[in-house]
Amino acid sequence: MEKVHILLLIILMNLGMANAQNNPLLGEFNTPHNAAPFDKIENEHFLPAFKKSIEVGEAEVKAIIESTEKPTFENTIVEMENAGRLLSRTAGIFFNLLSSETNDELQKIAQEISPMLTKFQNDITLNPVLFEKIKVVYAQKDKLKLTVEQQTLLENTYLGFVRKGANLTEEQKDRFREISTEMSKLTLTFGENVLKETNKYELHITDKSELAGLPEGVIEAAAGKAKSKEKEGWVFDISMPSYMPFMQYADNRELRKELYLAYGSKSFKGDEFDNQKNVKRITELRLAQASLLGYNNYADYVLERQMAMNPAGVYNLLDDLYEASFNVAKQEKAEILEFAKKSGFEGEIMPWDWGYYSDKLKIEKFDLNDEMMKPYFELSNVVGGVFGLATELYGIEFKPNKDIPVYQKEVTAYEVFDADGKFLSVFYTDFHPREGKRGGAWMNDFKGQWKENGVDSRPHVTIVMNFTRPTETKPALLTFSEVETFLHEFGHALHGMLANSTYSSLSGTSVFRDFVELPSQIMENWAVEKDFLDRFAVHYKTGEKIPADLVKKIVDSQNYLAGYASIRQLSFGYLDMAWHTMEKPFTGNVKAFEDKAFAKTSLFPSIEESCMSTQFGHLFAGGYAAGYYGYKWAEVLDADAFSVFKEKGLFNKEVAASFRKNILERGGTEHPMVLYKRFRGQEPTVDALLERSGLK
């Protein structure tokens, strides 16, 4: 890099340091491990920080573009990889807060900076001079004697430019800019609408008789929610810890229906938060983008860089699993209907009846329900058990550090150390629902991992949940499903925390979308293993270990409604593919389109007021468009991979070391099938999944 450009960067960085006195996002973080100084960051700091970060990033890229040196892997590809770090740091902090601790002001800032960030990205990938330099290096790829990781970085950089429009004409590039700018704003709006709809609804009950069937802990939580809103009685909402137990236990069918319709109709009411136009426009823009780049549809574009490779590969997987699942699911429904009729039910089982009667049948068949298990899954004990599993498998230790600032008082920050005492990661946990937090559960990072000048810069990882809160008389007691969710997101976190790559764009969870769920879903397998549960699952009052007969019931019930669970996931995969294999803009009715996509997997009549597409954040506000099938593909991978642990030992150090070395540490440095075969010794088959789920 030429001296004049280095001086320019120094000047810009110094300007940033000067502003750092007033803006903690600019300059050094004087915190443990340079963690984000959340105690100093205010909303008003973000917009100027983004503007300055973009200026610095633009200068870094400009230095590469204007350099008169012959393009090389180091001065072009690596410098491009390292450009924009200040912007990445700012964005990492902002967008995590936007999901977990948002407010109207942050959402307004997001709408303002979204086109700025899109322009910054487009100015890079659509710059013809920069692309020519990358092509010069790429043309020499077979002569450069690069490592496997360097080869992957070069390949990804070149293809990344091509797939973002570098080969388009100037007129097409202008259109590409328009599409990507509008799309970035629409996906933000989509997510904001769903969150606002979720926060808007509440079911306020003042008649105690309407609580019939609900367990004491659920009633107490609803009373606490009412009290926090300065209301009498009990308040339920459509956050998971409130919604799910109500649908499972409430005897009042009309109230179950009301809550189901409130949940199912999110952003589908024709009001200010309606997402039907957004669904149409987002899919139209994605198709337009794919068409510009020479693809028949958006799925063709996305899947070219996934393990499935093309829509046919996805449909082959979905159809194979459908054939194994659908008849089983129909038999399960018939069994539940027969059981309900014995209980006096008349008519057809509807979606708001499913959780209620399926839970009662589960009790009859296995003498098991969530309320029996919850006393053994007190949150702090579960944390110890999950962390302990990572210690057992990988030797890593978690130490809370109150000197690391957190963004909300309920968040806990940990330092994570390897078996040899080496620092691995900062790790944040955020467990309970709030109005500023979107629904669901996820892992993300505030900072990724990379190596430069002999220094391994370690990641800062977070997992965010919406778990059952403690009440006035009980600690936070998790359902079994919440324990599985914890293990799932913690698996993603391990993928991030154990990252060991040179380049940040290839590090941790930066892998093909249909591979990223393997490290998370494999962790769920331990949830039904007695040897694991015995280590932490003790009664929160008595300290008694979870009884052996209760663990056996959990194991025996593991495949209860396996056909239904499979068909439900497959239905979402089919819906995703329907939206993203279209080859013409969609102008019809969103609900009718969805019903057609769901037709082959439908077990219930279509509910007129309910629509999945308008609240399907994975597709329209997240990164799973044309990729939702990846959850089922990952089930194939995780069942196959876990069979090695089952064969050689749940806590086998050699198997764990191989999984860490070949999967968790390697990130996206090689093709995922190469990495998987290096661990497993062969390609995966669906057999282990079908056997595990009782479908074979």
Question: Is a pLDDT exceeding 80 seen at residue 125?
Answer: yes
Q: How far apart are CA 239 and CA 439, in angstroms?
A: 7
- Average confidence (pLDDT) over 571-585: 98
The catalytically annotated residue of 489, 517, 529, 594 is: 489
Question: Is a pLDDT exceeding 70 seen at residue 379?
Answer: yes
| Helices H / strands E in the chain, number of each | 28, 9
Phi-psi region of 242 (alpha: psi -120 to 50; beta: other; left: phi over 0): alpha
Least confident range from 5-19, 260-274, 605-619: namely 5-19
- Average confidence (pLDDT) over 104-116: 96
Cβ atoms of 274 and 267 within 8 Å: the answer is yes
What's the confidence (pLDDT) of residue 217? 92
The 3-state DSSP class for residue 468 equals: coil
Q: Average pLDDT, whole number, for the chain?
A: 95
Sketch out the chain's domains with CATH numbers.
3-125+127-167 (1.10.1370.40), 201-264 (no CATH), 276-368+562-628 (1.10.1370.10), 375-556+631-692 (1.10.1370.40)
**In this structure, what token pair is assigned to residue 52?**
């300055």
Least confident range from 13-17, 232-236, 298-302: namely 13-17
Active site residue 60: no
User: pLDDT tens-digit profile of 433-484?
Assistant: 999 999 999 999 999 999 999 999 999 999 999 999 999 999 999 999 999 9
Contacts of 637 by beta carbon, 8 Å cutoff, 6+ apart: 515, 517, 518, 521, 522, 676, 684
The 3-state DSSP class for residue 84 equals: coil
Question: Is a pLDDT exceeding 70 seen at residue 7?
Answer: no
Closest CA to 227 of 411, 478, 471: 471
What's the confidence (pLDDT) of residue 355? 97
Least confident range from 148-152, 526-530, 684-688: namely 684-688
Q: Any idea how long the chain is?
A: 696
pLDDT > 90 in the chain, percent? 94
Closest CA to 38 of 25, 53, 20, 54: 25
What's the confidence (pLDDT) of residue 4? 40
- Average confidence (pLDDT) over 174-186: 97
- Average confidence (pLDDT) over 506-529: 96
- Average confidence (pLDDT) over 83-105: 96
Q: How far apart are CA 88 and CA 122, in angstroms?
A: 16
Question: Is a pLDDT exceeding 80 seen at residue 378?
Answer: yes
What's the confidence (pLDDT) of residue 229? 94
- Average confidence (pLDDT) over 590-605: 97
pLDDT > 70 in the chain, percent? 97
What's the confidence (pLDDT) of residue 422? 98
Contacts of 463 by beta carbon, 8 Å cutoff, 6+ apart: 427, 428, 429, 430, 441, 442, 443, 486, 489, 490, 492, 493
**In this structure, what token pair is assigned to residue 473?**
């008389």
Least confident range from 285-289, 496-500, 553-557: namely 553-557
Closest CA to 494 of 402, 398, 618: 398
Question: Is a pLDDT exceeding 70 seen at residue 414?
Answer: yes
pTM of the model: 0.93
Q: How far apart are CA 530 and CA 242, in angstroms?
A: 29
